[in-house]
Amino acid sequence: PPSRLPNVGTTIFTVMSALAAEHGAVNLGQGFPDFDCDPALLACVQQAMAEGLNQYPPMAGVAPLREAMAAKISTLYGHRYDAASEITVTAGATQAILTAILAIVGPGDEVIVLEPNYDSYVPNIELAGGVVVRVALQAGTFRPDFDAIAAAITPRTRAIIVNTPHNPSASIWRQADMQRLAEILAPTDVLLISDEVYEHMVYDGEPHASAARIPELAARSFVISSFGKTYHVTGWKVGTVAAPAPLTAEFRKVHQFNVFTVNTPMQHGLARFMADPKPYLDLPAFYQHKRDLFRAGLAGTRFQLLPSEGSYFQVVDYSAISSLNEADFCRWLTTEIGVAAIPLSAFYGDGRNQGLVRFCYAKRDETLQAALARLARL
Ligand code: PMP
Ligand code: GLN
């Protein structure tokens, strides 16, 4: 049959996790923690289940969770969303991104994607019939190139997708960057899809530059969060999207026929657990320790480390070690050295090779040490 996505195969994350399992490699490829969540969060969910909160929730999500998110965003980023009409609970950020795109992008509409980019964006835009307009992040630093962004905007531009902290590069936007984007978008109708799933993984005392901090941007944005990342429960697949009421109304039109609702007891459990801000306020220190441990361990190798300002990723340049292309190097690293990584080429439309791979350091210290022991001879 004709394919809607002729260029899409199985995601690199699935491929590398399978290869890592097959060869008993330490899996620093696919981004997920190898440690469990806070037992108090499990107790909150178990309690909700035991209370019989197991039937369909409201279409937009249970009120306590939407209210907890509205309160959190207000405290952290200073923008007050209306929990009833502006916050929607989704099946992870993945569904939030697809649903936002389906809600606003039609055939021929252009969507700007900053490359390298997370792998779901491009197929999502293509499914909506939109046109992908790739704008490169700056070579070497992966910082936004605002002249290139401004130049890419046309009368057909419907939206731009921004992701900070950034997967895969681990770069972050500063507040001044968001301000600059607000200025560029001001004279246009371009909407912003702001993928902020790593919002609590920003290091060295930097604040997270949320689009919600800038009123003019918030007015045209879908701000997307993921409990999977924030609470170490990637398998639960629960996230949220915050957007002004008219955008939320369009979002929900698609959402109700996409998943309709997201599982009930997780939502109640998360809402209760959110009463304590400590878990997410502690996250920068928790992951900065892992980042520093991993970077220190690689210091004696021939890997060249790029900065890791945010997210739980570390990009390295391996060109002093091997001349293999990135996918082959990752395969070799997994099968011969016993550590899985992700090739940066997977995040580029043209699959270019730059001698860069991504490691995930959301792992127990012992796991990182086991990986470092294997990488030490490189
Ligand atoms: N966006 C980015 C940048 C991600 O890294 C991820 C997780 N890999 C997602 C979205 C999807 O998040 P979720 O697991 O909540 O669907
Ligand atoms: N977002 C995770 C990563 O970048 C993987 C999620 C997935 O497997 N789709 O590694």
Q: What is the 3-state secondary structure (H, E, C) of 21-44?
A: HHHCCEECCCCCCCCCCCHHHHHH
The model's confidence at residue 22, banded by pLDDT at 50, 70 and 90, is very high
Q: What is the pLDDT of residues 84-130, one digit of tens each?
A: 999 999 999 999 999 999 999 999 999 999 999 999 999 999 999 99
Cβ of 165 closer than 6 Å to ligand 1, yes or no, is: no
Residue 233's pLDDT is 98
- The verdict on the CB of residue 226 being under 6 Å from ligand 2 is no
Residue 348 Cβ contacting ligand 2 at under 6 Å: no
- Give 145 Cα–ligand 2 centroid separation in angstroms: 25
Separation between Cα atoms, residue 5 and residue 7, nearest integer Å: 6
Residue 167 Cα: closest atom of ligand 1: 3
DSSP-derived secondary structure letter, 311: T
Residues 115 and 118: their CA atoms lie apart, in Å, by: 9
Residue closest by Cα to atom 7 of ligand 2: 13
Residue 340 has pLDDT above 90, yes or no: yes
Cα 19 to middle of ligand 2, angstroms: 15
Shortest-distance ligand to the CA of residue 100: 1
* Domains of the chain: residue spans and CATH: 12-30+282-375 (3.90.1150.10), 39-276 (3.40.640.10)
Q: Is the pTM of this model over 0.95?
A: yes
Q: How far apart are CA 19 and CA 17, in angstroms?
A: 5
The tens digit of pLDDT for each residue in 300-331 reads: 999 999 999 999 999 999 999 999 999 999 99
Give the Cα separation of 48 and 54 in Å (integer): 8
What pLDDT, on a 0 to 100 scale, did the predictor assign at position 1?
83
At 127-177, the pLDDT tens digits run 999 999 999 999 999 999 999 999 999 999 999 999 999 999 999 999 999
Q: Return phi, psi of residue 88, to 5°.
A: -130, 135
Closest by alpha carbon to 296, among 214, 200, 365? 365
Can you give the pLDDT at residue 135? 98
| Burial class of residue 52 in the structure, from the number of CB atoms within 10 Å of its CB (0-12 exposed, 13-18 middle, 19+ buried) | exposed
Residues 237-249: pLDDT tens digits? 999 999 999 999 9
Residue 198 C-alpha to ligand 1 middle, in angstroms?
A: 9
Confidence band, pLDDT 50/70/90 cuts, at residue 7:
confident
With a cut of 90, say whether residue 276 has pLDDT above it: yes
Ligand nearest to the CA of 14: 2
Beta carbons of 127 and 5 less than 8 angstroms apart: yes
At residue 358, the 3 state secondary structure works out as strand
pLDDT at position 258: 94
CA separation (Å) from 291 to 40, 147, 160, 285, 308?
25, 32, 30, 10, 8
Residue 235 has pLDDT above 90, yes or no: yes
**Distance from the CA of 336 to the center of ligand 1, in angstroms?**
29
